[in-house]
């Protein structure tokens, strides 16, 4: 069973340590102690709660889409150079960078501070985990 310290759980979900503590206080998460007595929360409980916080793709905009990877965020950078544009979107703790035509960036009226939705449709997504400590 995977457990995370409160600070680790907060970082994973993109909230403050105090928010995780509030979740424990109101019974959303259980607080346990690891072998060294450190307060930890259960990874499976955290995952279940995190799913309740996600934005349903059907609630974003007025379009239907086969893409399920949608990140609502704030545009933090628009760099148009010639025919291309680089746009950065901050979605919670995640920085998403998109390269597009300058025409598309202008048509979308992208500017720093505007709301955007990054839609990602990929046939290959790579996941990584940390290595287990050597015994």
Residue 50 — very low, low, confident or very high, per pLDDT cuts 50/70/90?
confident
Counting the structural domains of the chain, the total is 2
CB 78 within 8 A of CB 85: yes
Quote the domain boundaries for residue 71. Answer: 59-120
How big is the CA angle at 101 (ends 95 and 103), to the nearest 5 degrees? 120
Over the stretch 57-85, which tens digit does the pLDDT of each residue have? 555 566 666 767 788 888 999 999 999 99
37 and 76 both lie in a single domain: no
Q: Does the residue 127 lie in any domain?
A: no
- Tokens read off for 30: 């259980």
Q: Does the residue 18 lie in any domain?
A: yes
Q: Does the residue 46 lie in any domain?
A: yes
pTM as predicted: 0.59
Q: Does the residue 65 lie in any domain?
A: yes
Give the torsion sign (CA, 106, 111, 114, 117).
Answer: positive
What percentage of the chain has pLDDT greater than the value 90?
A: 41
CB-count burial class (<10 Å; 0-12, 13-18, 19+) for 100: middle
44 and 12 both lie in a single domain: yes
């Amino acid at each position: 069973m995977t457990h995370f310290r409160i600070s680790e759980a907060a970082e994973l979900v993109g909230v403050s340590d105090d928010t995780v503590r509030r979740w424990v206080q109101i019974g959303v998460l259980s607080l346990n102690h690891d072998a060294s007595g450190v307060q930890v929360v259960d990874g499976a409980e955290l995952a279940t709660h995190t799913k309740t916080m996600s934005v349903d793709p059907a609630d974003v905009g007025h379009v239907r889409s086969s893409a399920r990877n949608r990140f609502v965020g704030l545009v933090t950078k628009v760099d148009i150079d010639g025919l291309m544009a680089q746009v950065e979107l901050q979605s919670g703790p995640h920085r998403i960078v998109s390269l597009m035509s300058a025409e598309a960036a202008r048509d979308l009226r992208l500017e720093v501070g505007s709301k955007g939705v990054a839609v990602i449709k990929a046939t290959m997504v790579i996941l990584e985990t940390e290595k287990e400590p050597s015994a």
